[in-house]
Amino acid sequence: MEKSLLEQIRQTVIESEADRTVEFTRKALDAGFEPLEIINKGLVSGMQVVGEKYESGEYFLPHLIIAADGMKKAMSVLEPELKARGQQAEKLGTVVIGTVQGDIHEIGKTLVGTMLSANGFEVYDLGVDVKIEDFINKAREIRANAIGMSALLTTTMTVQRDVIKELNNSGLRSSIKVIVGGAPVTKEWAERIGADGYADDAVSAVTLMKKLLM
């Protein structure tokens, strides 16, 4: 029964039943599942299938929108739980994060931000479609230790490179670590654009940030 709750969450995402995604997420939490397990085995796994169906032409944009809506609402149920589990007094560093200009995919970026703050980092989330200068200005203003950029489109991942170029031009690069992520982003891309690291999910983003800043 308990195992099938995660499968039910996955199915509701695939079938774009946003309200039921939230309902089953609450049930799974009440049944004692860990938030990260619900996210990875239920929500993300379902969203992966939605993406594949969209790519193959079986699904259209409204499916993506409704599935994302369900996932966002379910995430807002899980985020306080994630934060509560990661409570710690020590501040490990200050990080500015956002999804780059031209890109409005927010779920993965927000999850990375939540996991970083749950693990002791102070996070300034600039949202989506973030202009190059906004990353730079915010990082300068709050004396950030790191910038994290998310990009989900092959057409927007180049903006990650542009932000790094601008950090170089502004003289800030040596004092700010940069990590990048998002579905089309790879370790090779991160190296090519001169980022300090790449993470393929929110948990490894935390590990990477700790490695870079501690």
Residues at the contact surface with ligand B1M, assessed by CB under 6 A: 44, 47-48, 50-51, 54-55, 61, 64-65, 68, 72, 97, 102-109, 111-112, 148-150, 152-154, 179-184, 199-202, 205
**Residue 98: count of CB within 10 angstroms of its CB:** 25
**Residue 112: count of CB within 10 angstroms of its CB:** 27
CB of 59 to ligand B1M, least distance (A): 9
Q: Encoding tokens for residue 35?
A: 């938030």
CB of 1 to ligand B1M, least distance (A): 26
CB of 45 to ligand B1M, least distance (A): 10
Measure the CA–CA gap between 83 and 108, rounded to whole angstroms.
16
Task: Give the CB-side neighbour count of residue 67, counting CA atoms within 13 A.
Answer: 28
Residue 214 DSSP label = -
CB of 155 to ligand B1M, least distance (A): 6
Nearer to ligand B1M, 5 or 116 (CB): 116
Shortest-Cβ-distance residue relative to ligand B1M: 108
